[in-house]
């Protein structure tokens, strides 16, 4: 069986940790001059940290992750829903737009976001914080489409496929699946709009899946087929990639495939966005801003420490709480004179779980969520 490491090289992906400002390829509808490009595969563009100071991430700077690069733009591409259904459906985006619409504000986060922060280093795209963003997604509830098609008893999974093709025949297609129960959840949407604009090609036009709270690999772009079936999807992207140890392992440990499970929801996390690391600011109360979210529960609180973790104070939260939805936080730290300063943030989700000081290391470097510390200088 293909290992994840062999896959990384077979796809021709060097995944150099080098980060460069992207040069604009034509017709992508993304402000690539602003996004940070990660070498290797066709499209790994990260959102610079300073854009996470608000509830919705602008489309023009929204991160892009694609294994093989986008297929041709085809607004007439149809979506087939088949497999264990009474009546298979074929839908164009125009037909989808005529059905009752649903909207959801949700974080799209790549499972590998923060991979570069895991120690020891693991292979893969060396994202720091930029492989995520929050948008208002609009489309049709997948459960409405499945109700139209009539799901048969015994069905338990929905296989997801997009129109993008692997670069060579030996490279497996990007095929994922989600459990039927998750597909039937009212927030799972076949989306055609992002932040009030039609989906761009980079983000999956004409249709993509939105699975709030679950890692980005379930949010299949350029959707062509949803196949209702009894079993999980087969193949590399379900059975080898996107898997986590079933329990905590020592950093650097080898983990047997039998001790791995498919990853689903992303864990609680917060990030300081203002000030940026190394900034110079004037004396006076220091405004700290950031975001907090979890794929498992709404956020209960964010605590900030300006004394390296000795004492913590609650920040003010803004935005609506929700699973897989981020809120912004802010707090003022006293200051009256030039000094080196620092802040650490940690989020607590409603189930009571706190963001861990150090993220749980795992062989593929998924779901980094350690406490975020920022240091800056107050100068005269």
Ligand X SMILES: Nc1nc2c(c(=O)[nH]1)N[C@H]1C(S)=C(S)[C@@H](COP(=O)(O)O)O[C@H]1N2
| Least Cβ distance, residue 144 to ligand X (angstroms) | 22
| Least Cβ distance, residue 133 to ligand X (angstroms) | 7
State yes or no: residue 216 binds ligand X (CB under 6 A). Answer: yes
Query: Measured from the CB atom, is 111 or 348 closer to Mo ion?
Result: 111
In a 10 Å sphere around its CB, with 0-12 CB exposed, 13-18 middle and 19+ buried, how is residue 58 labelled? middle
Query: Measured from the CB atom, is 221 or 243 closer to ligand X?
Result: 221
Cα distances (angstroms) measured from residue 147 to each of 85, 109, 139, 159:
9, 28, 16, 16
State yes or no: residue 190 binds Mo ion (CB under 5 A). Answer: no
Contact range with Mo ion by CB under 5 A, out of 107-115, 178-186, 219-227, 319-327: 107-115
Contact range with ligand X by CB under 6 A, out of 81-89, 216-224, 354-362, 363-371: 216-224
367: left (phi over 0), alpha (psi -120 to 50) or beta: left
| Least Cβ distance, residue 216 to Mo ion (angstroms) | 4
Query: Measured from the CB atom, is 207 or 315 closer to ligand X?
Result: 207
State yes or no: residue 174 binds ligand X (CB under 6 A). Answer: yes
Q: Which residues of 186-205 are buried (b: 16+ CB within 10 A; e: fewer)?
A: ebbbbbbbbbeeebbbbbbb
Residue 151 per-residue DSSP state: B
State yes or no: residue 110 binds Mo ion (CB under 5 A). Answer: yes
Give the 3-state secondary structure of residue 183: helix
- Candidates 162, 212, 275, 295; binder of ligand X (CB under 6 A) is 162
# chain residues binding ligand X, by CB under 6 A: 18
State yes or no: residue 222 binds ligand X (CB under 6 A). Answer: yes
Q: Which helix (H) or strand (E) holds 65?
A: strand 64-66
Which residues partner with 304 through β-bridges?
313, 345
| Least Cβ distance, residue 234 to Mo ion (angstroms) | 20
Q: Residue 361: how many CB atoms within 10 A of its CB?
A: 19
Query: Measured from the CB atom, is 84 or 125 closer to Mo ion?
Result: 125
Q: Interaction with ligand X in 92-151: which residues (CB under 6 A)?
A: 108, 110
Centroid of chain to Cα 378: 34
CA–CA gap between residue 15 and residue 131 (Å, rounded): 15
Query: Measured from the CB atom, is 110 or 348 closer to ligand X?
Result: 110
- Give the chain's end-to-end CA distance (angstroms, integer): 61
Q: Among 14, 41, 1, which residue's Cα sits nearest to residue 172?
A: 1
Contact range with ligand X by CB under 6 A, out of 3-11, 75-83, 137-145, 214-222: 214-222
- Candidates 8, 84, 191, 220; binder of ligand X (CB under 6 A) is 220
| 174 binds, options ligand X, Mo ion, none, Cβ within 5 to 8 A by partner type | ligand X
Query: Measured from the CB atom, is 109 or 355 closer to ligand X?
Result: 109
Each residue 4-43 as x (binds ligand X by CB under 6 A) or -, in order, gives ----------------------------------------
Instruction: Give the full edge-to-edge strand order of the sheet including 299-305.
Output: 280-281, 372-378, 339-349, 299-305, 313-314
State yes or no: residue 79 binds ligand X (CB under 6 A). Answer: no
- Candidates 216, 267, 363, 365; binder of Mo ion (CB under 5 A) is 216
Contact range with ligand X by CB under 6 A, out of 15-23, 95-103, 220-228, 261-269: 220-228
| Least Cβ distance, residue 67 to Mo ion (angstroms) | 9
CA–CA gap between residue 326 and residue 318 (Å, rounded): 9
180: left (phi over 0), alpha (psi -120 to 50) or beta: alpha
CB 269 within 8 A of CB 253: no
| Beta carbons within 8 Å of 94's beta carbon, 6+ residues apart | none
Positions touching Mo ion (CB under 5 A) are 65, 110, 216-217
Positions touching ligand X (CB under 6 A) are 63-67, 108, 110, 162, 164, 174, 203-204, 216-217, 219-222
């Amino acid at each position: 069986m293909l290992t994840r490491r062999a896959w990384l090289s077979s796809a021709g992906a060097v995944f150099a940790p080098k980060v460069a400002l992207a040069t604009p390829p034509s017709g992508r509808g993304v402000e690539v001059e602003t996004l940070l490009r990660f070498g290797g595969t066709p499209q790994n563009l990260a959102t610079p940290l300073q854009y996470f100071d608000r509830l919705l991430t602008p489309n023009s700077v929204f991160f892009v992750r694609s294994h093989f690069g986008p297929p041709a733009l085809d607004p007439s591409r149809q979506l087939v829903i088949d497999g264990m259904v009474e009546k298979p459906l074929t839908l164009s985006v125009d037909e989808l737009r005529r059905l009752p619409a649903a909207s959801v504000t949700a974080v799209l986060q790549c499972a590998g976001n923060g991979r570069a922060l895991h120690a020891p280093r693991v292979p893969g795209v060396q994202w720091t914080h930029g492989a995520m963003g929050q948008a208002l997604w609009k489309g049709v509830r997948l459960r409405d489409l499945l109700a139209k098609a009539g799901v048969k008893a015994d069905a338990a999974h929905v296989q997801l496929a997009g129109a993008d093709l692997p670069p060579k025949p030996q490279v497996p297609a990007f095929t994922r699946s989600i459990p039927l129960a998750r597909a039937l959840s009212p927030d799972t949407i076949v989306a055609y709009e992002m932040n009030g604009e039609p989906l761009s090609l980079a983000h999956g036009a004409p249709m993509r899946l939105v699975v709030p709270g679950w890692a980005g690999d379930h949010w299949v772009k350029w959707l062509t087929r949803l196949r209702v079936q009894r079993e999980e999807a087969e193949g590399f992207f379900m059975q080898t990639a996107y898997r986590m140890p079933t329990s905590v392992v020592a950093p650097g440990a080898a983990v047997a495939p039998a001790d791995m499970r498919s990853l689903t929801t992303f864990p609680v996390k917060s990030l300081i966005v203002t000030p940026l690391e190394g900034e110079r600011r004037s004396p006076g109360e220091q405004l700290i801003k950031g975001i907090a979210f979890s794929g498992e529960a709404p956020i209960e609180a964010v605590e900030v420490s300006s004394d390296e973790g000795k004492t913590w104070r609650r920040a003010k939260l803004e935005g609506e709480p929700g699973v897989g939805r981020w809120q912004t936080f802010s707090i003022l730290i006293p200051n009256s004179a030039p000094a080196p300063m620092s802040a650490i943030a940690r989020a607590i989700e409603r189930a009571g779980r706190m963001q861990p000081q150090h993220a749980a290391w795992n062989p593929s470097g998924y779901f980094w969520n350690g406490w975020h510390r920022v240091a800056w200088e107050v100068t005269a």
